[in-house]
A = this chain, B = another copy of it.
């Protein structure tokens, strides 16, 4: 694949949107030059990050008792409409299959926008007794939302990849506990794997998942854009779907009862968040734990030393690979070392090892961190140990830097004017709300699109003594307001 024109021409802090698209394209994460808008190509470099995420999360899911399965993509219209609010929520963005071969179908089939309906149609056939519970099913699939808004690679597209988990429980308590357990797994994926600090918010009633009892979302924060990015959601569905889909079980007490359910999903948006949060003016900066290549080894060629340097670079590559790192030795002879530095910086590889004649003389290599740009000489015999340390430091530094930016961005204000000023300054607003959806709607109108994203879910914040930032009546909620992708 051609590397494309090198170098990012826009500054992240100045024109964030342009910068983002440039990193995605030039870093070869995604290719949007497809025939259908919003249906993009996950290029190998971008897809490999998704593979790392899948691998990590899948192990956590399985350890929690979740089993993978695969349900049909196509959902008959009559099934999709069964839970009325759910259908209402998704219908504007459903793509429909109406023809096959030479014939017109008797009923339109939706490309899954999410799979509650088809899964629960099956669950109602699978579940008979409390012995069948809890049921925990997950699938890794493509999914379709026919966005009419402007699309943005990874963050808003018409087809994307995700996992959707669906669980069924005997009691509401168990379903509530499941929400907490899944939030912890999602937090691990975001913070521990991807170095993305998140705020965990309970969505407002108007903003919850269509058909849910309540929705909790994880939000990452792109400081230079001043926007939050929803990277995962966990829903307690209550009994709304079990009633619509007749998911009943015979309980221990001999009574037939409707089951309690949860569903939860995260998607390839995570990749967009990683690029948006960690990237810099040179391109992507990938957290070592998910970087498809963690260490790139580049021979620094001087005339007369070509063979020696290349041989050593390969040796170093092997040494690192045998130690368990994901390594690429870029020994292509038709590109200069300088070109290669730019290329791998753009792609976000966290650690570069340079092997030049001087390094060899001194019995070592030069190691350069992608996040700070710091360089140091490392003796060969200490290399695997030092590489592990450096990668750990990069991972930690990415998280801490992002965490600091997130924390510093949160400002508490009490009026719409202050909200507007804070949003202008790319802040996340903490404020107070009476709970009235009309006031919530007003916030959107008066701030040019900033929204109440919800209330903290895992901690209790008191709004005592505060007034609603819109109507001035007694506030009942401490809310977070921000623009979002």
Contacts and interface: CB of A to CB of B under 8 A. Distances in A.
A40 B72 contact: yes
B98 A96 contact: yes
Nearest to A105: B95
A50 B118 CA distance: 21
Interface string A142-186: 101010100000000001010000000000000000000000000
A35 B76 contact: yes
Contacts of A2: 126-129, 131-132
Contacts of A96: 97-100
Nearest to A109: B36
B97 A101 contact: no
Interface stretch (A63-71, A215-223, A302-310, A361-369): A63-71
A234 interface: no
A94 B101 CA distance: 5
Interface string A46-58: 0110110000000
Summarize A's interface: helix, strand, loop or mixed. mixed
A98 B101 contact: no
Q: How many monomers of this chain does the complex have?
A: 2
B122 A72 contact: no
Interface string A99-140: 111100000110100000010011001111101100101000
A47 B76 contact: no
Given A44-B68, A98-B99, 17 more contacts: A31-B125, A33-B125, A35-B75, A35-B118, A35-B121, A39-B73, A41-B69, A41-B72, A44-B137, A70-B161, A73-B142, A73-B144, A96-B100, A97-B97, A97-B98, A99-B108, A100-B146
Interface of A: 1-2, 31, 33-36, 39-44, 47-48, 50-51, 67-76, 78-79, 91-102, 108-109, 111, 118, 121-122, 125-129, 131-132, 135, 137, 141-142, 144, 146, 148, 159, 161, 332, 334
18 contacts: A1-B127, A2-B131, A31-B122, A35-B78, A36-B72, A36-B76, A39-B72, A39-B74, A41-B69, A41-B71, A42-B69, A70-B142, A70-B161, A72-B159, A92-B101, A95-B109, A98-B99, A131-B334
